[in-house]
Amino acid sequence: MNEVAIAMIECDGRWLLQLRDDTEGILYPGQWALFGGHLDPGETPEVALRRELEEEINWAGSDLAPWFEQRDDQRIRHFFRGPLAVPLESLTLLEGQDMVVAALDELLSGSIWSPKCQQRRPLAPSLQRAVQELKKERDQA
């Protein structure tokens, strides 16, 4: 079974997102997603997440804690959550076509504006799932 580790990274009350490339053959091309990716053989979710964050935005993500897990017939998604412990400007987008921070209300709209693409793009299913969890927490507060 495929396993992925993905991160909901908070930056001043907003959430860091990656716009996936418009490449045929990848999952959810051109959609907003969370940073992270597949576990390599023998990796724990924590180790995989740190590796993926280094590869994607040049940040180790050491302050991210396990949040929840989602399983279906095809994969296990390990969701992590925590603050961006470095200035946003220090990140370098190394994978994907855009990176933004978005408020929960923007996320709840189902699409986010991409400054680089100059258009609104939809949320990938894993990001939609994380947004549902954030909304549930907000509603319970």
- Where is 131: in which H helix or E strand? helix 125-140
pTM over 0.85: yes
DSSP, collapsed to helix, strand or coil, labels residue 72 as coil
Report the pLDDT value the prediction gives residue 63, as an integer from 0 to 100. Answer: 86
pLDDT at 141 over 90: no
The tokens describing 55, both together, are 């590869």
* DSSP code per residue over 33-47: E-EEEEPPTT--HHH
As a 3-state breakdown, the chain gives helix, strand, coil percent values, each rounded to 5, of 25, 35, 35
96-110 pLDDT, tens digit each:
999 999 999 999 999
Report the pLDDT value the prediction gives residue 52, as an integer from 0 to 100. Answer: 97
51-89 pLDDT, tens digit each:
999 999 999 887 899 999 999 999 999 999 999 999 999
Report the chain's C-alpha Rg in angstroms.
Answer: 14
pLDDT at 4 over 90: yes
To the nearest whole number, what is the mean pLDDT of the chain? 96
Q: Assess contact for 114 and 100: CB atoms under 8 A.
A: yes
Report the pLDDT value the prediction gives residue 60, as an integer from 0 to 100. Answer: 87
Q: In the beta sheet, which residues pair with residue 18?
A: 33, 99
* DSSP code per residue over 94-119: -SSSEEEEE-HHHHHTTEEEETTTTE
pLDDT at 1 over 90: no
